[in-house]
Amino acid sequence: MKLNEDEKKIFEDFLSFLQLHPELKKWELTSEPVLSLSDLEIDPSQRLVRCNQKEVALTTKEYNLLCLLAVNNGRVLSYSQIYEKVWGEALTVNERGTVGYHVRNLRRKLYSADPHHPFIIESIREIGYRFQTTS
């Protein structure tokens, strides 16, 4: 993105203002660590996911689902645990299909970005899912 002269001037004025007011530094948010699992990177501060160094576009639910599964690497999460964390509601009868639908979309996007993916999102029959690194 190229800035025109007016935009450059505004930006320079803003930087000068910040230099004159160092107390504003306390409002700066601390950056969250990037989660790296083999060829998968999740950067919460930018809400970016990279698989095999390729950016993967995810919906909000897919992103939240991936974060939940990845931080629980190796653990089996039940449908109700997933639904409660990602959707913020208690699991009812039909939501199990909702979780499955989003997991399928998530797999498709991640696996197409890296066909030799060093991780799997494993279905645990009648229970839920497990994210697991394979290398």
pTM across the whole model: 0.73
In angstroms, rounded to a whole number, what is the distance separating the alpha carbons of residues 107 and 101? 10
**Can you tell me the mean pLDDT for 55-80?**
93
Beta bridge pairs of residue 97: none
Residue 124 has pLDDT above 90, yes or no: yes
pLDDT band at 27 (very low <50, low <70, confident <90, very high): low
107 falls in which pLDDT band (50, 70, 90)? very high
For the chain, percent of residues with pLDDT exceeding 90:
39
SS (H, E, C) 10-54: HHHHHHHHHHHCHHHHHHCCCCCCCEEECCEEEECCCCEEEECCE
Structure tokens at 59: 């919906």
Confirm if 61 and 85 have CB atoms less than 8 A apart.
Answer: no
Mean pLDDT of 69-80: 92
- State which H helix or E strand residue 68 sits in: helix 60-71
Asked if residues 82 and 72 have their Cβ atoms less than 8 Å apart, the reply is no
> Using CA atoms, how far apart are residues 33 and 45, in angstroms rounded to an integer?
8
Residue 62: pLDDT over 70? yes
User: Is 10 a residue whose pLDDT tops 60?
Assistant: yes
Give me the mean pLDDT over the 94-123 stretch: 90
Residue 37: is its pLDDT beyond 80?
no
Q: To the nearest whole number, what is the mean pLDDT of the chain?
A: 83
pLDDT greater at residue 12 or residue 120: 120
What interhelical angle do 60-71 and 79-87 show, nearest 10? 130
